[in-house]
Structure 1
């Protein structure tokens, strides 16, 4: 039986052919995978963008709440620090007086004042001087008590200032974090729009151009309110009508732009009524109104967490500031998940 011959190793030329073929297959496979990922449709992008904008609006109302808290705490901190400064000035004056007393005692060599009075060259004046001495002692004791009380109040005020400044820092940190979340959600929404195909991008651009034209037209001459409301309600609704076409700007309370609670708050300010800054707090700013009893000027709220609010104008419609990229508009209240209404 003859020996088997070992197969000869493949030549370099053959290896090159095989390697090239494998590389080509990998490229084709990758290309096939790339072709397997279609561009997102306009409807799917719109759904995701709407969701991100709704989440952003939730963050915006939290941002507004943190901002309001920060402003309140800043006012408190300023007031307490002014109080601390006044207390410190009073303490400095008391210390000056106490220092003068200590210096006088040092100059007198520490001899008991009663002994000095007794050694006086005018014995007839002893009783008068003794009385004066008692008055001085009483005055010094009162001064020491005053200094002790002032120091205690100063220490309390400083502790309060420290605690308030700590809360102010925490509110600032929360405000910055909420701002980052808003910017992140809006950036994601824009990135989704950027992934659209050419035809869909053209549709979106056309819609945005139409919105800009509408905004410019509405800002030039907003429609006047001609409804049945009178008195305070008419003032509120007329103000809202005058804002139609102005852009939604998150965190804004006017006059150039508004977010949802910024618009309702500004409308009520026009009628000398102050509303809380945040939509959830505006929900508690008046009495609940049944849908069947809605009147122009009532606040209407949407979504289970009350993160959106508008101003009822009658006929089942409201004026509201919708979201980033849109303008103040008239919309049926059924266009969003309606929760309830409040009349401040």
Structure 2
């Protein structure tokens, strides 16, 4: 009679081991898949981040421009004070030498009281003449002492002013270095992000605000624009002559520019001196308001709430500007960016 044996059941412990191994394998597989096929960066997200970085870079660049302008002014002021101190020290030395000569002359004449010398003198007329000379020498000594004291006070004040200016210069130099470091870090981060997308996406991301490709924007012919007059005419023509020139932060010509640097260079060609930053340029001349329809060729159009970008109105609803890193001087629609204020130089 055949025996009927029940098949062996897998042990509970072995079942647990197999289940745990399977779970581990699934988890490892998921991790490997995640590392092996990282998600492709989203073009729109990269563009938003790059745009934000470049905007922050432009803000830092304008801070750099302002700090550099202030540092240059302080350095010039310090040099002038140092020259004044050197000349003042020479004058002080001359006064001291003159005072020493007067004192020596008095010493040689002796310290006898004039009334006693008059009684002992056998020649009163001669003594009276000498006494007059003695009085003049004493008067000269008093004037020299007064001039010496005034010169010393003036020299001490100049030294204090020079010390304060040099301290300010040191602070501006640190601000300059900080702004420069910020600009460079923003640009490096933007470049890193751009390297994560395809060449085609990268080209689309770096297109200008007006929608035209950075280096393929068509040049505007000045003869097609409404006429300007005076300094504005020269400035508009100068700015338009630089279409295609590279944007370089901190540059103000003659071959590379940032936004405010282009305005400074163009108006300098017309003999007009503008402050270095877009924030300062937002205070020059006459306030035209924010409606670009009231703008005239040559007006400065200041953009964004922090006034970190500036362009020049050229007519026909257009401005010429130096947009951002990786871009070139070109024309865009005047209202492509939010207008903060328009100034007539």
TM-score (normalised: structure 1): 0.83
Q: Quick one: structure 1 residues 206 and 337, their matched pair in 2 at CA, closer, same or farther if it must change by over 3 Å? A: closer
Q: Quick one: structure 1 residues 126 and 103, their matched pair in 2 at CA, closer, same or farther if it must change by over 3 Å? A: closer
Q: Secondary structure at the match of 2:311?
A: strand
- 8 Å Cα contact 2:222/2:237 also seen in 1: yes
Provide the aligned length of Structure 1 versus Structure 2.
Answer: 323
Structure 1: any 5+ residue segments left out of the alignment? Answer: 1-14
| Whole-angstrom distance in 1 between the partners of 2:66 and 2:222 | 32
Q: How far does residue 334 in structure 1 lie from its aligned partner after superposition?
A: 2.1
| Whole-angstrom distance in 2 between the partners of 1:227 and 1:53 | 31
Q: How far does residue 267 in structure 1 lie from its aligned partner after superposition?
A: 1.7
User: How does 1:68-87 map onto structure 2 within 5 Å?
Assistant: 68-87=69-88
Q: How far does residue 105 in structure 1 lie from its aligned partner after superposition?
A: 5.0
**Which residue number corresponds to residue 334 of structure 1?**
335
| Whole-angstrom distance in 1 between the partners of 2:261 and 2:178 | 21
**Which residue number corresponds to residue 285 of structure 1?**
284
| Whole-angstrom distance in 2 between the partners of 1:207 and 1:193 | 8
Q: How far does residue 120 in structure 1 lie from its aligned partner after superposition?
A: 4.4
- 8 Å Cα contact 2:317/2:334 also seen in 1: yes
Q: Quick one: structure 1 residues 206 and 115, their matched pair in 2 at CA, closer, same or farther if it must change by over 3 Å? A: same
| Whole-angstrom distance in 2 between the partners of 1:224 and 1:301 | 22
| Whole-angstrom distance in 1 between the partners of 2:47 and 2:201 | 12
- 8 Å Cα contact 2:236/2:266 also seen in 1: yes
| Whole-angstrom distance in 2 between the partners of 1:321 and 1:307 | 12
- 8 Å Cα contact 1:66/1:175 also seen in 2: yes
**Which residue number corresponds to residue 231 of structure 1?**
229
| Whole-angstrom distance in 1 between the partners of 2:24 and 2:103 | 97
TM-score (normalised: structure 2): 0.83
* Per-residue deviation, residues 223-242 of structure 1 (Å, max 9, x unmatched): 44432213223222211211
**Which residue number corresponds to residue 275 of structure 2?**
276
Does the alignment pair 1:309 with 2:310? Answer: yes
Q: How far does residue 295 in structure 1 lie from its aligned partner after superposition?
A: 1.6
**Which residue number corresponds to residue 298 of structure 1?**
299
Which stretch shows the higher mean deviation, 299-308 or 265-274?
265-274
| Whole-angstrom distance in 2 between the partners of 1:89 and 1:26 | 85
Structure 2: any 5+ residue segments left out of the alignment? Answer: 1-16
**Which residue number corresponds to residue 202 of structure 2?**
204
**Which residue number corresponds to residue 149 of structure 1?**
150
- 8 Å Cα contact 1:310/1:321 also seen in 2: yes
**Which residue number corresponds to residue 9 of structure 1?**
none
- 8 Å Cα contact 1:296/1:313 also seen in 2: yes
| Whole-angstrom distance in 1 between the partners of 2:116 and 2:172 | 64
- 8 Å Cα contact 2:226/2:316 also seen in 1: no
- 8 Å Cα contact 1:60/1:250 also seen in 2: yes
- 8 Å Cα contact 2:244/2:330 also seen in 1: yes
Does the alignment pair 1:258 with 2:254? Answer: no
Q: Secondary structure at the match of 1:318?
A: strand
* Per-residue deviation, residues 127-148 of structure 1 (Å, max 9, x unmatched): 1111111111111111111101
| Whole-angstrom distance in 2 between the partners of 1:308 and 1:23 | 56
Q: How far does residue 82 in structure 1 lie from its aligned partner after superposition?
A: 1.0
Which stretch shows the higher mean deviation, 100-109 or 51-60?
100-109
| Whole-angstrom distance in 2 between the partners of 1:268 and 1:32 | 60
Q: Secondary structure at the match of 1:38?
A: coil
Q: Secondary structure at the match of 1:334?
A: coil
Q: How far does residue 79 in structure 1 lie from its aligned partner after superposition?
A: 1.2
Name whichever structure is richer in helix by fraction.
1
**Which residue number corresponds to residue 65 of structure 1?**
66
**Which residue number corresponds to residue 165 of structure 1?**
166
